[in-house]
Amino acid sequence: MGSTSAENEGAAGVGRRALIKRSAALGLVSLPAIGALTAVSGCASSGGGDQAKAKAGKKTQKNPLGVNTSAPLEFVLFDGGFGKEYAEDAVKIYRKNFPGAKVKFSATQKIQSTLQPRFNQGNPPDLIDNSGAEQMDMGVLVGKNQLTDLTALLDAPSYDDPKKKVRDTLRPGIVEMGQFDGKQVWILYYAYTVYGVWYSQKALDALDEKYPETWDEMLRVCQKAKKKGMAGWTYAGKYPYYIPFSLYPMIAKVGGREVLDAIDNLEPNAWKHPAVKTCFEAYYELYRKGYVLRGTPGLDHIQSQTAWAQGKALFIPNGSWVENESASVIPKDFQLTVSAPTGIDASDKMPFGTIWASGGEPFIVPARAKNPEGGMEQLRIMLSEASSKNFTTKVKSLTAYNGGTTGITLTPGLKSGVAALEKAGDNVVNPRIQDWYVQLEKEKIGVAGLGEMMAGRLTPAEAVKKIQAYADETAKDSSVKHYKHQ
């Protein structure tokens, strides 16, 4: 989604994270505007001539991708919760390795409005972190042949060990996330995000409670919190597509992961599955019983996270970027913790611990990039153990590199996220609807559906009906490229 991966709203100073999506929330734009997405969809056949490609260099052991050592490289980063420093550090390594190359690095929160015209004109940068509120629609970019296949990068020797391919050093699911149909890989998700319910262990201990594993327990904990003057929940009301960070894995827990697959595949009546109805009704109870912080529907991600960090609410659905993004407002003794979503009861199809974890911060190399080998080499550098450790140390998040935590003192949230992944084991879900159908996920399901339901303006039954109609509309829209689980 990915966010994104994510949102910032100008809160880069707070350390905004990358939310593929949330990132999304970036403050500058409420959402990937319909106009923005429409603009993307028209770009493949636009006028604008291709820029001349740099002549490929000679492939050697130290230069396995055959980078032209003197070709310029342009890298545009999303300026979000992860900041810029980790990328700037990786760029320094590229410059050291290719001293004859001029490297232009920049960061912006306005990815779409800054880069869409350049896609249209045929002169995009060589590497882009396509995240944030103005994230360009991945499904459209892939469907319009706008991206370079990254298989060459994945099959190249890893930066640290020439005996290992880059693909063999990545966390589970990263390669698959970059695929849309077939075996080609169009996106490399750099961050690894744990989504779930975040809270202060100190606050929970003060209530003399453990994290609730059933919904009856959840309601009881929220009631207890309310009596102490603390709301049970808050969330990014202006960007309610944060709600799925805990709701989607809950649906999988209750009904099985095949329910999420059906939703991703836009199957008829997928949203009418009993597990969806049950989970919607559970969340609606939070609103109905007054367990949601007053005014939440009007809060953005930063405001809701700040209220939560100040102890005004116990739980918040979010991604692991929240630790870095809210670092300036989370008290030192907060004991930041993440848990997998609470289920309904013992009849759930999947065990407690079922969680959503996946790649965030989607990096792409445009098909019309002048120096695609350089763009991929920059990613290869970023996927080294040293660059991965640097990222994790600086922004309190894991990377796609499967490791990179040895010798690092993990922060409370990061330590909790690693523990949650260990507890989940194979029970990790990765809904793709946020990547495949950005507009549907954010504007329709999130804002018009879940946002309205959690504000009390739609009943669960009405929300299900409305969201199913939106999904059916997308499924029937021939202008939209459709994807399915293989």
Residue 386 banded pLDDT, cuts 50, 70, 90: very high
Q: What is the pLDDT of residues 62-121, one digit of tens each?
A: 999 999 999 999 999 999 888 899 999 999 999 999 999 999 999 999 999 999 999 989
For residues 196 and 356, the answer to whether their CB atoms sit within 8 Å is yes
- Average pLDDT (41-46) is 37
Q: What is the pLDDT of residues 392-421, one digit of tens each?
A: 999 888 999 998 888 889 999 999 999 999
Residue 19 banded pLDDT, cuts 50, 70, 90: very low
For residues 169 and 402, the answer to whether their CB atoms sit within 8 Å is yes
Mean of all residue pLDDT scores within the chain: 89
Using CA atoms, how far residue 479 sits from 45, 143, 357, 482, in Å, is 14, 10, 30, 9
**pLDDT on residue 349:** 98
Using CA atoms, how far residue 448 sits from 22, 151, 208, 209, 468, in Å, is 17, 38, 37, 34, 12
Using CA atoms, how far residue 56 sits from 71, 155, 204, 328, in Å, is 9, 17, 58, 45
Residue 4 banded pLDDT, cuts 50, 70, 90: very low
> Considering Cα of 217, then 218, then 221, then 224, what sign does the dihedral take?
negative
Asked if the model's pLDDT at residue 133 lies above 60, the reply is yes
Q: What is the pLDDT of residues 336-366, one digit of tens each?
A: 999 999 999 999 999 999 999 999 899 999 9
Reduced DSSP (H G I as helix, E B as strand, rest coil) percent helix, strand, coil of the chain, to 5: 45, 15, 45
HSE (side-chain half, CA atoms, 13 Å) at 140: 25
**pLDDT on residue 181:** 76
> Quick one: tokens of 344?
């309904």
**pLDDT on residue 37:** 34
Domains of the chain: 11-193+359-417 (3.40.190.10)
DSSP label at 341?
P
For residues 264 and 436, the answer to whether their CB atoms sit within 8 Å is yes
> Quick one: tokens of 171?
């966390």
Residue 50 banded pLDDT, cuts 50, 70, 90: low
Among 26-40, 216-230, 469-483, the range scoring the smallest mean pLDDT is 26-40
**pLDDT on residue 324:** 86
**pLDDT on residue 304:** 98
- 208: how many CB neighbours lie within 10 A of its CB? 7
**pLDDT on residue 464:** 98
Question: Which residues, 6+ apart, have CB-to-CB distance to 117 below 8 Å?
Answer: none
Among 5-14, 60-69, 268-277, 455-464, the range scoring the smallest mean pLDDT is 5-14
